[in-house]
Amino acid sequence: MADPVEFYFDFSSPYAYFASTRIDRVAEKGGRDCVWKPILLGPVFKASGNTLLNDQPLKGAYARMDWERLSRFMEVPYGLPDPFPVNTVNAARIFYWQDDRDRALAHRFAVAVFHAYFADGVNVSDLGALLDIAEKSGIDRDHAAAATVDPSVKKRVKDEVDRALERGVCGAPFFFVDGEGYWGSDRIWMVKKVLAGMSGF
Protein backbone atom coordinates (compact mmCIF):
# COMPACT_ATOMS: atom_id res chain seq x y z
CA MET A 1 0.00 0.00 0.00
CA ALA A 2 1.19 3.51 -0.76
CA ASP A 3 2.10 5.88 2.06
CA PRO A 4 -0.76 6.86 4.36
CA VAL A 5 -2.51 10.19 4.28
CA GLU A 6 -1.44 12.09 7.40
CA PHE A 7 -4.04 14.18 9.19
CA TYR A 8 -2.71 16.82 11.59
CA PHE A 9 -5.27 18.46 13.85
CA ASP A 10 -6.01 20.06 17.19
CA PHE A 11 -9.02 18.60 19.01
CA SER A 12 -10.17 22.18 19.56
CA SER A 13 -10.35 23.15 15.86
CA PRO A 14 -13.85 23.17 14.33
CA TYR A 15 -12.43 22.91 10.81
CA ALA A 16 -10.42 19.87 11.89
CA TYR A 17 -13.56 18.37 13.41
CA PHE A 18 -15.45 18.76 10.14
CA ALA A 19 -12.52 17.30 8.20
CA SER A 20 -12.27 14.38 10.65
CA THR A 21 -15.72 13.22 9.56
CA ARG A 22 -14.52 12.83 5.95
CA ILE A 23 -10.79 12.19 5.69
CA ASP A 24 -10.72 8.45 6.53
CA ARG A 25 -13.20 7.69 3.75
CA VAL A 26 -11.33 9.94 1.31
CA ALA A 27 -8.05 8.14 2.09
CA GLU A 28 -9.71 4.72 1.86
CA LYS A 29 -11.23 5.52 -1.53
CA GLY A 30 -7.74 6.49 -2.66
CA GLY A 31 -6.38 3.16 -1.44
CA ARG A 32 -4.58 4.74 1.49
CA ASP A 33 -4.51 4.37 5.22
CA CYS A 34 -5.06 7.56 7.25
CA VAL A 35 -2.83 8.39 10.20
CA TRP A 36 -4.27 10.81 12.75
CA LYS A 37 -1.83 13.19 14.43
CA PRO A 38 -3.19 15.46 17.15
CA ILE A 39 -1.05 18.52 17.73
CA LEU A 40 -1.51 21.80 19.58
CA LEU A 41 -2.38 24.93 17.65
CA GLY A 42 -0.91 27.17 20.38
CA PRO A 43 2.73 26.57 19.36
CA VAL A 44 1.75 26.51 15.66
CA PHE A 45 0.11 29.93 15.93
CA LYS A 46 3.12 31.22 17.87
CA ALA A 47 5.47 30.03 15.11
CA SER A 48 3.28 31.31 12.29
CA GLY A 49 2.51 34.65 13.97
CA ASN A 50 -1.19 33.86 13.92
CA THR A 51 -3.89 34.32 16.48
CA LEU A 52 -7.07 32.45 17.24
CA LEU A 53 -9.61 32.86 14.47
CA ASN A 54 -12.40 33.26 16.99
CA ASP A 55 -10.71 36.31 18.54
CA GLN A 56 -10.05 38.17 15.31
CA PRO A 57 -12.24 41.06 14.24
CA LEU A 58 -14.20 40.30 11.03
CA LYS A 59 -12.66 36.83 10.63
CA GLY A 60 -13.97 35.62 13.99
CA ALA A 61 -17.54 36.52 13.07
CA TYR A 62 -17.11 35.00 9.62
CA ALA A 63 -15.69 31.77 11.06
CA ARG A 64 -18.52 31.37 13.57
CA MET A 65 -21.08 31.78 10.78
CA ASP A 66 -19.05 29.47 8.53
CA TRP A 67 -18.91 26.65 11.10
CA GLU A 68 -22.70 26.69 11.42
CA ARG A 69 -22.99 26.65 7.65
CA LEU A 70 -20.52 23.78 7.26
CA SER A 71 -22.53 21.83 9.80
CA ARG A 72 -25.61 22.22 7.58
CA PHE A 73 -23.75 21.56 4.33
CA MET A 74 -21.91 18.51 5.62
CA GLU A 75 -24.76 17.28 7.82
CA VAL A 76 -22.40 17.04 10.78
CA PRO A 77 -23.76 17.80 14.27
CA TYR A 78 -22.12 20.93 15.63
CA GLY A 79 -22.50 23.66 18.18
CA LEU A 80 -19.88 26.25 19.18
CA PRO A 81 -18.68 24.83 22.51
CA ASP A 82 -18.33 26.94 25.65
CA PRO A 83 -15.52 27.32 26.65
CA PHE A 84 -13.93 27.62 23.23
CA PRO A 85 -11.18 26.95 22.42
CA VAL A 86 -9.78 24.70 25.13
CA ASN A 87 -6.40 23.20 25.91
CA THR A 88 -6.24 19.77 24.32
CA VAL A 89 -2.83 18.60 25.50
CA ASN A 90 -4.25 15.84 27.70
CA ALA A 91 -6.45 14.52 24.89
CA ALA A 92 -3.35 14.38 22.67
CA ARG A 93 -1.35 12.60 25.37
CA ILE A 94 -3.99 9.92 25.87
CA PHE A 95 -4.27 9.54 22.11
CA TYR A 96 -0.56 8.95 21.48
CA TRP A 97 -0.18 6.64 24.49
CA GLN A 98 -3.00 4.50 23.12
CA ASP A 99 -1.93 4.88 19.49
CA ASP A 100 1.37 3.14 20.26
CA ARG A 101 -0.59 0.18 21.68
CA ASP A 102 -3.79 -0.08 19.64
CA ARG A 103 -4.36 2.32 16.76
CA ALA A 104 -8.02 1.43 16.29
CA LEU A 105 -8.74 2.20 19.94
CA ALA A 106 -6.87 5.51 19.77
CA HIS A 107 -8.85 6.41 16.65
CA ARG A 108 -12.13 5.59 18.35
CA PHE A 109 -11.08 7.82 21.26
CA ALA A 110 -10.18 10.70 18.93
CA VAL A 111 -13.53 10.49 17.15
CA ALA A 112 -15.27 10.44 20.53
CA VAL A 113 -13.33 13.49 21.79
CA PHE A 114 -14.23 15.51 18.69
CA HIS A 115 -17.87 14.48 18.98
CA ALA A 116 -18.05 15.18 22.71
CA TYR A 117 -16.65 18.67 22.25
CA PHE A 118 -18.36 19.85 19.09
CA ALA A 119 -21.61 17.90 19.08
CA ASP A 120 -22.29 17.47 22.81
CA GLY A 121 -20.52 20.54 24.21
CA VAL A 122 -18.45 18.55 26.71
CA ASN A 123 -15.42 20.48 27.97
CA VAL A 124 -12.67 18.13 26.82
CA SER A 125 -9.98 20.06 28.68
CA ASP A 126 -11.55 18.74 31.90
CA LEU A 127 -9.57 15.66 32.91
CA GLY A 128 -12.53 13.84 34.44
CA ALA A 129 -14.62 14.35 31.29
CA LEU A 130 -11.71 13.20 29.16
CA LEU A 131 -11.21 10.05 31.21
CA ASP A 132 -14.94 9.31 30.89
CA ILE A 133 -14.58 9.53 27.12
CA ALA A 134 -11.47 7.33 27.21
CA GLU A 135 -13.23 4.73 29.31
CA LYS A 136 -16.32 4.70 27.06
CA SER A 137 -13.99 4.26 24.08
CA GLY A 138 -12.54 1.14 25.69
CA ILE A 139 -9.33 2.63 27.08
CA ASP A 140 -8.32 1.74 30.62
CA ARG A 141 -9.14 4.78 32.77
CA ASP A 142 -6.10 4.49 35.04
CA HIS A 143 -3.73 4.06 32.10
CA ALA A 144 -5.29 7.09 30.43
CA ALA A 145 -4.87 9.16 33.60
CA ALA A 146 -1.26 8.02 33.94
CA ALA A 147 -0.55 8.94 30.30
CA THR A 148 -1.46 12.57 30.96
CA VAL A 149 1.39 12.93 33.48
CA ASP A 150 3.91 10.52 31.95
CA PRO A 151 7.10 12.47 30.98
CA SER A 152 7.72 10.27 27.92
CA VAL A 153 4.17 10.84 26.66
CA LYS A 154 4.48 14.57 27.33
CA LYS A 155 7.66 14.55 25.30
CA ARG A 156 5.96 12.58 22.53
CA VAL A 157 3.30 15.25 22.09
CA LYS A 158 5.92 17.99 22.12
CA ASP A 159 7.98 16.07 19.53
CA GLU A 160 4.93 15.65 17.28
CA VAL A 161 4.26 19.39 17.44
CA ASP A 162 7.92 20.18 16.69
CA ARG A 163 7.92 17.75 13.79
CA ALA A 164 4.73 19.29 12.42
CA LEU A 165 6.30 22.75 12.54
CA GLU A 166 9.43 21.43 10.78
CA ARG A 167 7.19 20.05 8.06
CA GLY A 168 5.47 23.41 7.57
CA VAL A 169 2.17 22.73 9.29
CA CYS A 170 0.69 26.22 9.67
CA GLY A 171 -2.84 25.46 10.86
CA ALA A 172 -5.40 22.70 11.23
CA PRO A 173 -6.52 20.52 9.64
CA PHE A 174 -3.34 19.94 7.65
CA PHE A 175 -2.90 16.90 5.44
CA PHE A 176 0.14 15.31 3.86
CA VAL A 177 -0.08 13.10 0.80
CA ASP A 178 3.24 11.72 -0.41
CA GLY A 179 5.08 14.47 1.44
CA GLU A 180 3.07 17.36 0.03
CA GLY A 181 1.00 19.49 2.40
CA TYR A 182 -2.65 20.55 2.07
CA TRP A 183 -4.04 23.04 4.55
CA GLY A 184 -7.67 23.32 5.50
CA SER A 185 -10.89 21.34 5.39
CA ASP A 186 -11.46 23.23 2.13
CA ARG A 187 -8.69 21.23 0.50
CA ILE A 188 -10.20 17.79 0.85
CA TRP A 189 -11.32 18.07 -2.79
CA MET A 190 -7.68 18.46 -3.79
CA VAL A 191 -6.56 15.53 -1.64
CA LYS A 192 -9.26 13.45 -3.37
CA LYS A 193 -8.02 14.48 -6.81
CA VAL A 194 -4.38 13.81 -5.95
CA LEU A 195 -5.22 10.38 -4.58
CA ALA A 196 -7.12 9.61 -7.77
CA GLY A 197 -4.13 10.75 -9.85
CA MET A 198 -6.13 13.59 -11.33
CA SER A 199 -5.84 17.34 -11.53
CA GLY A 200 -8.45 19.88 -12.66
CA PHE A 201 -10.95 22.06 -10.86
Pick between residue 154 and residue 167 the one whose CB is nearest to a copy of itself: 167
Q: What's the min distance (Å) between Cβ of 26 and a copy of itself?
A: 11
Answer yes or no whether residue 152 interacts with a copy of itself by CB under 8 A: no
Q: Which of 4, 35, 54, 66 binds a copy of itself (CB under 8 A)?
A: 66
The reply on whether position 181 binds a copy of itself by CB under 8 A is yes
Residue among 25, 31, 61, 77 that touches a copy of itself (CB under 8 A): 61
The window from 2-10, 110-118, 148-156, 162-170 that contacts a copy of itself (CB under 8 A) reads 162-170
Q: Residue 56 interacts with a copy of itself (CB under 8 A)?
A: yes
**Amino acid letter, 54:** N
Whole-number Å distance between alpha carbons of 5 and 23: 9
Q: What angle do CA 182, 60, 92 make, to 5 degrees?
A: 55
Nearest in space to 125 (alpha carbons), one of 93, 151, 159? 93
Maximal C-alpha separation, the chain: 50
Q: Is 123 in the site for a copy of itself (CB under 8 A)?
A: no
Q: Per CB under 8 A, does 22 bind a copy of itself?
A: yes
Site string for a copy of itself, 90-109 (x = CB under 8 A): --------------------
C-alpha separations of 11 from 24, 46, 76, 84 in Å: 16, 18, 16, 11
From CA 183, how far away is CA 123, in angstroms rounded?
26
Measured between alpha carbons, how far is 89 from 52 in angstroms, rounded to an integer? 17
> Does the protein bind a copy of itself through residue 48 (CB under 8 A)?
yes
For helices 127-137 and 103-118, angle between their N-to-C axes, nearest 10 degrees: 130
Give the DSSP H or E segment for 9: strand 5-9
By CB under 8 A, name the one of 3, 25, 29, 73 that touches a copy of itself. Answer: 73
Binding site for a copy of itself (CB under 8 A): 22, 44, 47-51, 56-59, 61-62, 65-66, 69, 72-75, 165, 168-171, 181, 183-184, 186-187, 189-190, 193, 199-201
